[in-house]
Amino acid sequence: MAVTCDLSAERFVDRWSDYVGAPPLTCGIVDVGERTRPTVSGVDPDRVRTVSDPGNLQHLHDAVETHLSELPDADRTVVYLDTVNALLDHVPIPSVTGFLDRLTSSLSALGAVSCASFETGERGERTIRPVTETFGTVFELGRLGRSLEPTDDQLSSDDVFEVLSSRSQRLVLRSLLRAEGTLHVRELAQRIAAAQTTEQPDIEQIVTRLHHIDLPKLRETGLVAVEDRVVSATEVVTEVEPYLALAHPDERN
């Protein structure tokens, strides 16, 4: 399902078709803006609604929920907001963030997933931070898309994939992120044990593995620092956080 603010409904489907080679198989569209009700090739007219005023966020929220309730398999639906910028051009930041919070909560209750694009080039930090914080995961894209080529302060793609191929190292990073970045080694081991599927994980074995395998590797890649048995996540962790969000659902509980 698409909420088309920047693009028209027709243009959204055209762009989809350009990439995929055919219109969406099952699609609902809420077309936002002062446009006439569109006739979109390949999309059932009853699946296209219009919200003429981008500033009427309640109307937009209701249109999305109503539309989604009519789509089959809501728990397999992705709702895509084609740009947050159009909303920010019409309503204040607190109203936009409140709308996004309500929308993502409503969709989560239905089992749907939401995502949005946000062009930050002309926006200041006071706008970017509160908007991006309404989403669980943020992928930062450049003009040609996100690059895996390393700079002096970045992980190489080989480092990223090597770390994330280890379940125990993923659990270390996720535990640190949930603890806002710092944990004593023993507390870290306890959190990892709580995430294990075995009934009685051995804490001492986990501590030993941390000291001899996981923490040395994570220190080598610059993802953590260790001092006096206290483990801290570094700023570099933000580079792998989006990938952690794509891991097995059992690891995200």
Residue 252 pLDDT more than 50?
no
- Highest mean pLDDT pick, 9-18, 25-34, 50-59, 63-72: 50-59
Residue where one domain finishes, among candidates 91, 115, 132: 132
Residue 5 pLDDT more than 70?
yes
Residues 94 and 216 in one domain: no
Q: What is the pTM of this model?
A: 0.53
Task: State mean pLDDT over 239-243.
Answer: 74
Residues 122 and 163 in one domain: no
Q: Residue 174: count other Cβ atoms within 10 Å of its Cβ.
A: 20
Residues 167 and 231 in one domain: yes
Consecutive H or E run containing 4: strand 2-4
Q: Which range, of 32-46, 53-67, 187-201, 227-241, averages the lowest pLDDT?
A: 32-46
Task: State mean pLDDT over 90-110.
Answer: 87
Number of structural domains the chain divides into: 2
**Cα distances (angstroms) measured from residue 97 to each of 75, 78, 87, 148:** 24, 19, 10, 30
User: Pick the residue with more confidence: 134 or 244?
Assistant: 134
DSSP 3-state of 220: helix
Report yes or no on 237 lying in a domain.
yes
pLDDT in the model for residue 246: 63
For residues 79 and 1, the answer to whether their CB atoms sit within 8 Å is yes
| pLDDT tier for residue 59 given thresholds of 50, 70 and 90 | very high
b (16+ CB within 10 A) / e for 238-251:
ebbeebbeeeeeee
Residue 195 pLDDT more than 50?
yes
Report yes or no on 7 lying in a domain.
yes
From 57, 49, 107, 114, select the one nearest 81 (Cα to Cα): 114
Report yes or no on 137 lying in a domain.
no
Report yes or no on 37 lying in a domain.
yes
Range of the domain at 192: 157-252
For residues 237 and 173, the answer to whether their CB atoms sit within 8 Å is yes
CATH number for the domain that contains residue 206:
1.10.10
Tell me the helix, strand and coil percentages in the chain, rounded to 5: 50, 10, 40
Residue 85 pLDDT more than 80?
yes
pLDDT in the model for residue 106: 84
pLDDT in the model for residue 144: 39
Residue located via tokens 């740009």? 83
Report yes or no on 217 lying in a domain.
yes
Residues 28 and 115 in one domain: yes
Task: State mean pLDDT over 127-151.
Answer: 64
| pLDDT tier for residue 35 given thresholds of 50, 70 and 90 | low
pLDDT in the model for residue 36: 63
Residues 78 and 39 in one domain: yes
pLDDT in the model for residue 60: 92
Which ranges of the chain does DSSP label H, i.e. alpha helix? 9-20, 57-70, 85-88, 93-110, 125-132, 157-164, 167-178, 185-194, 203-209, 215-220, 241-244
CA–CA distance, 13 with 41 (Å, rounded to integer): 8
pLDDT in the model for residue 253: 45
